[in-house]
A and B are shown apart, each in its own frame.
Chain A
Amino acid sequence: MLLVLSEEQREHLGCLPRLGDAAVAELGRLALELLRRGGAPRALEAAARKLGVGVDAVQHGVEALTYLLTESSKLAISEIDFQDSVHVLGFSDELNKLLLQLYLDNRKEIRSILSELAPKLPSYHNLEWRLDVQLASRSLRQQIKPAMTIKLHLNQNGDQTAQVLQTDPSTLLHLIQQLEQALGEMKTNHCRRIVRNMK
C-alpha cells in the first residue's frame, strides 16, 4: 500500500533536499519530539536559526515529516512501499535512505503512541483481595459469615481508580469458572482460525 501525500505536503517536504542531510535528521528528531510531547515553538525557532531558514519552513518541514512518519506507522507499510511512496518526491538516494531509516527506527514507538488514542474503557490494573469473616453485627450476634473483600484497581485516561467490592465464596468460585472459560476461548479452533486468517 502506498502513501498518498497531498500537494501541500509534497511542497513542504520539497524543501528538505536543500537543507542537507544533517538538517533533515534534526527535523526528524523534532518531529518525533512533537509526537511524544506535543508542540515546542522554542525548539522550532532554535532550529530555524541554526539552519538559517525561516521558522515557517522549519515548521512545515517538521509537520510534513510528522505526517509521513505517522501515516506510515499507522498503516504499518512495508519497507518497499515506504521507499516507493517517497520515491515520487524525487529525492536523492541518501535522503531516501535517511527517511527510511527514520521510519524503521521509530515506527514501533510511534505505533504505541498512536495506540493511546483509541477509545478506551477503564482497563484492569491490579486486584487485591482479603478474606473476612463477619462475626457479629448490630442486628445479629454470633455469626460466621465468610466474605471475600476485593480491591479492584483500574486505569482510566491515565487516572488510577480503586474500587472496593465484596463477594461470597460461592460467587467467587462462579467468577473463577466463568473467567477461566473466557480465557479458554482464545484456544478454540474458531478463534485460532480467525487469528490465522486475519493477518
Chain B
Amino acid sequence: KKCVISNLSILDDPDLKDIDPAVLKHCHAAAATCILEAGKHKADKSAISTCLEDCKLDRERIEEFCTEYQKNEDALEIILGSIGRSPLHITDVSWRLEYQIKTNQLHKTYQPSYLVTLNVENSDSGSHPDVSFSCTMEQLQDLVGKLKDAAKSLERATQM
C-alpha cells in the first residue's frame, strides 16, 4: 500500500521485509505498469476502478490505489510528457554588445557588434554546448523580427 511512485527501493523498505522478495517485485512491477498505462491514456477513476475490479482487488484497496494515484497524476503527466526525443531545446539567451575599433588587419572599423549565446539543453543528456554567434545590429533586428512573427502566430493559434 506504499506510494509506488517514490524512488525508494521497495526491497529495502522495513515495512515490507516479511514478504517474499519475488512476490514483492511482481507486485511492484504490476502496480507500476498499471500506473504508467493509466497515466499514458489519462484514465479517470472509473476506468482504473474497472481495471482493478477485473483483477479481483477489493473495494477498499481500489479506493486507496485511486486516491494515491490522483494525488500524483499531475506529476505523472509531466514526467511522461517529458519522455521522448526532441531537437535541442533553448532555455535561455545571453548577449554582449561590443564596439569594434580595430583589428590587426584593419584599423578604424568603428562598428557595433552583438554576440548572442543561446543556452540549449539536450532531451537526453541535459547539457549541451551553447550555440553562439555574432551579428550586426541589422541582423539582430531581423532575428528579433522573425521571433516576434513566430510569437504572433502562436498568439493567433491560441485564440482559435
Contact, CB under 8 Å: B110 / A179: no
Q: Is B72 an interface residue (CB 8 A)?
A: no
Q: Is A147 an interface residue (CB 8 A)?
A: yes
Number of interface residues of A (CB under 8 A): 60
B14: chain A residues at CB < 8 Å are none
Q: Is A36 an interface residue (CB 8 A)?
A: no
Number of interface residues of B (CB under 8 A): 57
Q: How far is the CB of B128 from chain A (nearest CB, A)?
A: 10
Contact, CB under 8 Å: A121 / B105: no
Q: Which residue of A is nearest B89, CB measured?
A: A166
Contact, CB under 8 Å: B95 / A179: yes
Q: Which of B21-29, B45-53, B132-140 contacts A (4 or more CB under 8 A)?
A: B132-140
Find B87's partner among A129, A131, A164, A175 (CB 8 Å cutoff). Answer: A164
Contact, CB under 8 Å: A183 / B141: yes
Given A165-B118, A182-B95, A139 and B131 touching (CB < 8 A)? no
Given A121-B115, A171-B90, A199-B110, A179 and B105 touching (CB < 8 A)? no
Given A137-B84, A140-B39, A165 and B89 touching (CB < 8 A)? yes
Q: Is A176 an interface residue (CB 8 A)?
A: yes
CA distance A175 to B135 in the complex (A): 16
Find A139's partner among B40, B87, B105 (CB 8 Å cutoff). Answer: B40
Contact, CB under 8 Å: A122 / B132: yes
Encode contact with A along B116-145: 1 for CB under 8 Å, 0 otherwise. Answer: 101010000000000111110101111110
Q: How far is the CB of A85 from chain B (nearest CB, A)?
A: 15
Q: Is B9 an interface residue (CB 8 A)?
A: no
Find B150's partner among A111, A131, A137, A178 (CB 8 Å cutoff). Answer: A131
Which residues of A, 67-90, contact B by the 8 Å Cβ criterion?
Answer: 74-76
Centre residue among B86, B99, B131, B148 by max chain A CB count within 10 A: B86
Contact, CB under 8 Å: B90 / A179: no
Contact, CB under 8 Å: B144 / A180: yes
| B-to-A contact residues, CB < 8 Å | 39-42, 77, 80-81, 83-84, 86-95, 97, 99, 101, 103, 105-110, 112, 114-116, 118, 120, 131-135, 137, 139-144, 146-151, 153-154, 157-158
The 7 A-B residue pairs with the shortest CB-CB distance, nearest first, are: A124-B135, A140-B80, A167-B90, A129-B150, A118-B103, A139-B83, A117-B105
* Known A179-B93, A183-B144; 15 more pairs at CB < 8 Å: A114-B105, A115-B105, A118-B106, A120-B134, A128-B146, A131-B150, A137-B81, A138-B83, A148-B150, A154-B133, A166-B90, A176-B148, A180-B144, A194-B99, A198-B99
Contact sample, A vs B, 8 pairs, CB 8 Å cutoff: A145-B81, A146-B157, A164-B88, A165-B118, A176-B144, A176-B147, A179-B95, A185-B97
